[in-house]
A and B are shown apart, each in its own frame.
Chain A
Amino acid sequence: MEKVAEKVSADTPATAKTVLEVEGLKTYFFVRQGVVKAVDDISFSLKAGEKLAIVGESGCGKSMTALSILRLVPDPPGRIVAGSIKLDGKDLLKLSDAEMRKIRGNQISMIFQEPMTSLNPVWSIGNQISEAVMLHQNVSRHEAFDKAVEMLKLVKIPEPSRRAREYPHQLSGGMRQRAMTAMALACNPHVLLADEPTTALDVTIQAQILDLILELQERLGTAVVLITHDLGVVAETAKRVIVMYGGKIVEEAAVEDLFENPLHPYTQGLLAAVPHLAALSTQAGEAASRNRLKEIPGIVPALVNLPKGCVFAPRCPHASDVCRNEYPPYEMKQPGHGVACWHAGKLAGGAHA
């Protein structure tokens, strides 16, 4: 709790210290058909109080990245085969299981997509939150329950002391996701991983939950990694964005930069493929309804036995021989804007290509 004041002041990423540093992370799954490179050599860092989004389609490795950070990769068949994950300078991959348990839910915690399956149905909400508190803080059961009620109040659940005694099935989907958020934030973590926190929710409830996560993030100074496939959610919540495809980071940039000047053909394709609400779009004329959407041909690749070269090459309109033979290096093209594409220089500003 003492750290709150210090963290709140550090809201400018330029001066803030790095809380999470992932380097060369590889998480592979060893299955009968071969090796699935779910996360393949990714590196990124997160500063205190920062809002980072990881965006990509199903199977791109974004959820596996989060599970790797928490060391929750199902083993077997999965294993982190290389890399380091430093939280406040400490490499999580070198910790024992017992030490890791002290960190999970305390310094780093996670909100999952399905609030239905990630809460224990036979324990009351208040009990589940106080369990996390008691595990990490030296408090009595009574104090922990009071803390749980306080957290439920913080996430704006009406009548928190009554709700704390209720069970997950008695709450609506939105309320459950609020309870999950309360649990994740109960020990005041430095880093919050939110894996598609609003995907299962209706749009009006989604807006409420995103609003809540952002408000608490600012108030508590927690750094947030938001994992999502929804570009609208990214635009409205994140400051910096990482785009993943086929287990790799293909592009990373500040959010305005990414949406206005995407350098990777996949990012360009993704942005062009989403229908925009014309009434709310700045380019209302362009987004007029009933035009053909720009599509990305082909299918999302299976991650078993990937072809050599760029993973996106089979679907890419600009692919050349070099793309099909060699994976492009990840390069900083502009300050804070990195991309892994052989043709990125030529494609700058080519969002309409």
Chain B
Amino acid sequence: MPDGANDMNANVPVLDVRNLKKHFPVRKGLLRKVAGHVYAVDGVSFSIARGQTLGLVGESGCGKSTVARAVIRLIEPTSGEVRILGRDILSLSKDELRESRRQAQIIFQDPFSSLNPRMSAGEIVGEPLLVHGIGNKKEREERVAALFDRVGLRASQMGSLPHQFSGGQRQRIGIARALALDPQLIIGDEPVSALDVSIQAQVINLLMDLQAEKNLSYLFIAHDLAVVEHISHRVAVMYLGRVVEHAETRALFSSPQHPYTEALLSAVPVPNPRLKRQKRLVQGDVPSPINPPPGCHFHTRCPYATEQCKVEVPPLVEVAPDHWAACHLRKPLVAVV
């Protein structure tokens, strides 16, 4: 049942997300009445072209993992539009959704809890093929062996259980499984965050090689800015459920337009002892997403906040060519209609 993805116009973005929202109800009391909502994702839009990587960064609780899960409907979005290769994902039935998941796969952060401990590595990698009824037993085995080889595991390890692998090897198993169905889009939810530095470099290189080879698109979620800068073509910065800045990687890192991006960059420790930077530390903690501050969510920690910031939500506008920021202090290139 090929859905005609291959003859689709190459200009159609692999992933197109419009105004995505996910609000989790907070229940309280004996009758579990809805007492409020966690605005985990509150109107997020972006798109990813073929062969490109979008890095999504932000601190814990900013909603980046919720975005990852919502775009492939591992959790149901509250509202918005998600198109994978032009096809609206949110209107699909369960069967159609399963079919569509051939195009989009996810790699999780924790290689210890995301692999079934009772399945062998080979079974884990081959399971997507089984679920989608691809090939017979022998063909599937050959495919799995080829995948093992591609991600740098030995085919002789196919019978081993996950606990017999190291963290980096487990993440390779996760990558092999994601590749099994030859997807167009791979969503990585902090895929290298749990790994040691020397292993992290191996996995990043593998992901980038695979992208070049198969023209894959990545939605790469991470909190490590240096890793995101390294792997991404474009970067979006999230804060409390909203995208506050979005630009081509170099532009975002060399001239951040949102005070939050600026603070994030300033806070990253740089492995160069001679570099003495004037740090612009932001004060305070990330506010609760249950009751986020009105206006610009960042105004409680922003050194430049004005009265307007406290009441009015700044729209995401183009402040420089192809550089978008949601800040009242930045003038849009063209007047907002």
User: What is the CA–CA distance of A281 and B277 in the complex, to the nearest angstrom?
Assistant: 11
B269 to A230, Cβ gap below 8 A?
A: yes
A169 → B minimal CB distance (Å): 14
- Residues of chain B lying within 8 A (CB to CB) of residue A295: 198, 201-202, 205
CB 8 Å contact bits of B57-69 with A (1 = contact, 0 = none): 0011000000000
A277 to B225, Cβ gap below 8 A?
A: yes
Residue of A nearest to B282 (CB): A204
- For B60, B196, B279, B283, the residue with the greatest tally of chain A CB atoms inside 10 Å of its CB is B196
User: What is the CA–CA distance of A276 and B270 in the complex, to the nearest angstrom?
Assistant: 7
B201 to A296, Cβ gap below 8 A?
A: yes
B201 to A294, Cβ gap below 8 A?
A: yes
B193 → A minimal CB distance (Å): 11
Place the interface of chain B in its size category.
35 or more
- Residues of chain A lying within 8 A (CB to CB) of residue B127: none
User: What is the CA–CA distance of A206 and B169 in the complex, to the nearest angstrom?
Assistant: 29
Residue of A nearest to B202 (CB): A295
Q: Does A172 contact B (CB under 8 A)?
A: yes
- Residues of chain B lying within 8 A (CB to CB) of residue A211: 279, 281
B274 to A231, Cβ gap below 8 A?
A: no
CB 8 Å contact bits of A155-177 with B (1 = contact, 0 = none): 00000000000000000101100
A265 → B minimal CB distance (Å): 11
Q: Does B184 contact A (CB under 8 A)?
A: no
CB 8 Å contact bits of A284-295 with B (1 = contact, 0 = none): 000001101111
Q: Of B223, B279, B283, which is within 8 A of A202 by CB?
A: B223
A273 to B197, Cβ gap below 8 A?
A: yes
B59 to A281, Cβ gap below 8 A?
A: no
A202 to B272, Cβ gap below 8 A?
A: no
Q: Of A231, A232, A235, A278, which is within 8 A of B229 by CB?
A: A278
Q: Does B227 contact A (CB under 8 A)?
A: yes
- Residues of chain B lying within 8 A (CB to CB) of residue A208: 281, 283
- Residues of chain B lying within 8 A (CB to CB) of residue A274: 197, 201, 226, 271
A256 to B273, Cβ gap below 8 A?
A: yes
Total number of A residues with any Cβ neighbor in B under 8 Å: 50
- Residues of chain A lying within 8 A (CB to CB) of residue B197: 57, 229, 231, 270, 273-274
| Residues of A54-105 whose CB lies within 8 A of B | 57-58
Q: Does A246 contact B (CB under 8 A)?
A: no
Residue of A nearest to B204 (CB): A293
A279 to B254, Cβ gap below 8 A?
A: yes
User: What is the CA–CA distance of A58 and B197 in the complex, to the nearest angstrom?
Assistant: 10
Q: Does A14 contact B (CB under 8 A)?
A: no
One of B10-18, B74-82, B87-95, B260-268 at the interface = B260-268
A289 to B229, Cβ gap below 8 A?
A: yes
Q: Does A1 contact B (CB under 8 A)?
A: no
Given contacts A206-B267, A235-B273, A289-B249, contact A296 B198 (CB under 8 A): yes
Q: Does B285 contact A (CB under 8 A)?
A: yes
B271 to A58, Cβ gap below 8 A?
A: no
A203 to B253, Cβ gap below 8 A?
A: no
Q: Does A223 contact B (CB under 8 A)?
A: no
Q: Of A172, A277, A282, which is within 8 A of B268 by CB?
A: A277
Residue of A nearest to B277 (CB): A280
B265 to A259, Cβ gap below 8 A?
A: no
B225 to A232, Cβ gap below 8 A?
A: no
A278 to B253, Cβ gap below 8 A?
A: yes
Residue of B nearest to A258 (CB): B273
B31 → A minimal CB distance (Å): 24
Q: Does B166 contact A (CB under 8 A)?
A: yes
B286 to A235, Cβ gap below 8 A?
A: no
CB 8 Å contact bits of A222-261 with B (1 = contact, 0 = none): 0000000111111110000000000000000001100110
8 new A-B contacts at CB < 8 Å, known A259-B272, A273-B197, A289-B250:
A203-B59, A203-B264, A207-B269, A207-B281, A211-B279, A260-B274, A276-B270, A279-B229
26 interchain pairs, CB-CB under 8 A? A57-B199, A172-B285, A202-B223, A202-B286, A204-B267, A206-B267, A206-B269, A211-B281, A232-B226, A235-B270, A236-B273, A259-B274, A275-B229, A277-B265, A279-B254, A281-B272, A289-B229, A289-B232, A289-B250, A290-B231, A290-B233, A295-B198, A295-B202, A297-B202, A299-B169, A315-B198
Q: Which 3 A-B pairs have the closest CB atoms?
A: A232-B269, A207-B267, A202-B59
